[in-house]
Structure 1
Amino acid sequence: MSDLVRGTVLLGVPRLISSLGGDPLVHLTEHGIDPASAGNYDRFVRYSSAAAVIGDAALVLDCPDFGLRLARLQNTQILGPGAVIVRNAETVSAALSSICRYVHTVAPADTIEVSRLGDLAVVSFDTDLRRAADRKQMVERALGTTLAAFKIMLGDDFVPIRITFQHRQIGPEDSYRRMFGCPVKFDSELNALHLPAAALSHPIRGRDAAALALAEGYFSGVTPDVALVDHVRRLIRRMLVVGHASLRMVAEALSLHPRVVQRRLAEEGTTFERILDDIRREIAWELSASDLPISRIAAALGYSEQSSYARACRRWHGESPRQLRQRAQLHASERGMHSRSDYVQGAEPSNN
């Protein structure tokens, strides 16, 4: 399972930490997250690291209802294109069906399920996080976001029948009452929002079918005017920023089965392995012009061993990583390019 999510998972986190007297830079960097990624849709972060920032902030800043407060700040913005589905699906049931299907593209560790028990509907949430403190905060944040989504679909006056959590109560009773406005039970079987089953058939008013199609097209990962190979190249480049890019991870981000990705790439005359190798070669050239240690360059390309990078370097360029560095830095110096920015795009000269 991919551990990568968009930086919007941390939307509002720096602001909340600051309001509690903490230093967002410290909390983020302690868990290896670039502060510029927090709230940034175009950046990827590790979900486990983002959850650790939230879990640790709750403990260090003595704010046990951190997840609930964050849910208020994030509202449905955290859903990204999912918020468009919530606003524009035909019915509440249709919206939930789409969200359940696509949630892994937003948060790969999370699952959402909808079940009916007679006249009762249960929307349950679970996450595959290991640290208990992080898990509790993320669960409470998620159910707060779920309630916000239902208020969009059913109106601001919607109140659940009850909310249930698997964990014991961690925050002040008043925080749960203000957030949910209904009975909240702990040590329960499910992390869930309970509501009348009849609400699932409620039509969503003011819906825009075109907006819905665009959102679902985004989640499907393929748009008519962009080839799959371009989507794959873009995702691989972004995933390599945190040192991981695999066929499975890219397929998950595209909401496609890995075999489907491979088949469609073959139709376009390439393979996932070839694209990954090409991008690694491009990035190796770009980073060799910087002052990064060769070991760091190897890690940035997703190689667990520096020797693997050395073999690839000789295959790509016919030279060692050190020789490539000398050539790349000379080329950059001649062109007056001394940028240390991440993955600076630069033309790669021939080594002939």
Structure 2
Amino acid sequence: MTDMIGGTSLLHYASLVSSLGGDPEALIRARGVDPTSVGDPDRLMSFSTAAALVGSAAAELNCPDFGMRLAKWQGIQILGPVALLIRHSETVADAIDGVSRFLYHCAPPDIAKLKRGPQSAVFTLEVARRQLAYREQWIEKGLVIAMEAFRLMLGEAFVPLRVTMQHRRISPPGTYRKYFGRPVEFGCELNSVHLPADALCQPIRGRDPAVLALAESHLAQIGPALPLVEHVRELIHQMFKVNRANLVSIAQAMDIHPRVLQRRLAEAGSSFEGILDVARRDLARHLSATGMPVSQIAAMLGYAEQSSYTRACWRWYSESPRQLIARCRRDSSRSQVVDR
């Protein structure tokens, strides 16, 4: 598997399921997982399986806020050594930057970022998986963990300026207010928590610089759990959404210099240009099946000129973009007929 995650990601899962009247062992075994691995920091499972366990519990127990409940039970301790960055960084900004750099140690596909503005700062959370069952449960779980971190650093009374999520609402409005202290906005561009800009400068009380140094040293020596080529591929698909699927943006997301990324990919027998080309080819086919106009497909793929996309399409499929649309639409229609 290329998306392994520690069993700690499901810490207290069994206890929460039991408290809701469910059978945790049955739920876990139904996903082909050894129940003893759930919550065990020394055991691994696939990221998609962990997300599915959270989502299936929510569905089977009729508990739409299961992911958020689990996050409250877990707190930041599920972040392992990354939690030490939160507790012992000099400022809130330093802590968030540390989480953004090293979150992949806890959950390789999770991407956290901090965007600074003059009046507010925006913490965002994405999952670099194109297809993930129960994505909304995993996102809500992650944002509540983020809230736990903010309240640890800024005080229990902390209330964010805004909270936004990309998916539709799956729990009653009052439930979200309970977890976040304010209404949550849905169907938005980002999964985010907004906080005042001056909150970033707040010092973290009780910090120990020696513990921070040890945690940073330990994290720096651990290689990413997600293989490099796969990591880059997933980031490219995420960056297509915001028209930033380029070497500089991907390297920035991975917190390394573009030349270093190119060198590491070469050592892995690959290249950024090659990964990007395959990703564009696959997305072109997917978008063509929707009937999207050629000009929009070219823009989605990051081509400045439609003619560049046309040349690439001939190279990939030996047909023009319009011919590809027609063929993909026919194939899609035939598939729907067969499914019926």
TM-score, normalisation: structure 2? 0.65
Unaligned runs of 5+ in 1: 223-231, 240-244, 250-254, 264-352
| Equivalent position amino acid for 2:39 in 1 | G
- The aligned counterpart of 1:29 is 29
Aligned length: 240
Structure 2 counterpart SS, 1:185: coil
Would the aligned equivalents of 2:48 and 2:132 in 1 still touch at CA under 8 Å? Answer: no
Aligned twin of 2:201 = 201
**1:96–1:114: 8 Å Cα contact kept in structure 2?**
yes
Tell me, yes or no, if the aligned pair for 1:54 and 1:67 is still in contact at 8 Å. yes
| CA contact 1:129–1:135 (8 Å) conserved in 2 | no
State the distance in 2 between where 1:25 and 1:45 align.
Answer: 15
The 3-state SS of whatever aligns with 2:134 is helix
Q: Which residue of 1 aligns with 2:55?
A: 55
Aligned counterparts of 1:175 and 1:78: Cα–Cα separation in 2: 23
Q: Deviations over 1:78-106 (max 9, x none)?
A: 11111111010011111111110111111
Query: What is the alpha-carbon distance in structure 1 between the residues aligned to residue 130 and residue 31 of structure 2?
Result: 15
- What aligned pairs does 1:28-177 form with structure 2 within 5 A after superposition? 28-130=28-130, 133-177=133-177
Q: Distance in 1 between matches of 2:122 and 2:169?
A: 20
The answer to whether the 8 A contact 1:51-1:135 is kept is yes
Offset of residue 32 of structure 1: 2.1
**CA drift at 1:248:** 6.9
Pair 36,207 (structure 1): closer, same or farther in 2 beyond 3 Å: same
Q: What amino acid does structure 2 have at the position aligned with 1:159?
A: V
1:246 shift after superposition: 6.7
Quick check: which has more Rg, 1 or 2? 1
CA distance in 2, matches of 1:187, 1:130: 18
* C-alpha contact 1:143 1:193 (8 A) present in aligned 2: yes
Q: In structure 2, what is the Cα distance between the partners aligned to 1:169 and 1:22?
A: 24
CA contact (8 A) 2:51 2:133 kept: no
1:253-332 pair list within 5 angstroms: none
Q: Deviations over 1:317-349 (max 9, x none)?
A: xxxxxxxxxxxxxxxxxxxxxxxxxxxxxxxxx
Q: What residue number does 1:278 align with?
A: none
| RMSD, matched Cα | 2.8
Q: CA deviation at 1:131?
A: 5.0
Structure 2, unmatched stretches of 5+, are 231-254, 268-340
Pairwise CA distance, 1:77: 1.3
C-alpha separation between the residues in 2 aligned to 1:168 and 1:246? 32
SS in 1 for 2:163: strand
Task: Output the TM-score relative to the length of structure 1.
Answer: 0.63
Distance in 2 of aligned mates of 1:27 and 1:77: 24
Amino acid aligned to 1:9: S
- Structure 1: distance between partners of 2:202 and 2:180: 21
What is the rounded CA distance, in whole Å, between the counterparts of 2:32 and 2:220 in structure 1? 30
* Distance change in 2, residues 1:53/1:206 (3 Å): same
Say whether the 8 Å CA contact 2:110–2:126 is kept in structure 1. yes
Shift of the 124–247 alpha-carbon distance from structure 1 to 2, 3 Å rule, reads: closer
Residues 184 and 93 of structure 1: CA distance in aligned 2, closer, same or farther (over 3 Å)? same
Percent of residue pairs bearing the same amino acid type = 45
1:209-220 aligned within 5 A:
209-220=209-220
CA separation of 1:15/1:217 partners in 2, compared to 1, >3 Å: closer, same or farther? same
CA contact (8 A) 1:2 1:108 kept: no
Counterpart of 1:72 in structure 2: which amino acid?
K
Is the 8 Å Cα contact of residues 11 and 38 (structure 1) preserved in structure 2? yes
Letter in 2 for 1:158: F
Q: State the AA in 2 paired with 1:60.
A: E
Contact 1:161 1:183 in 2 (8 A): no
SS where residue 184 of structure 1 aligns? coil
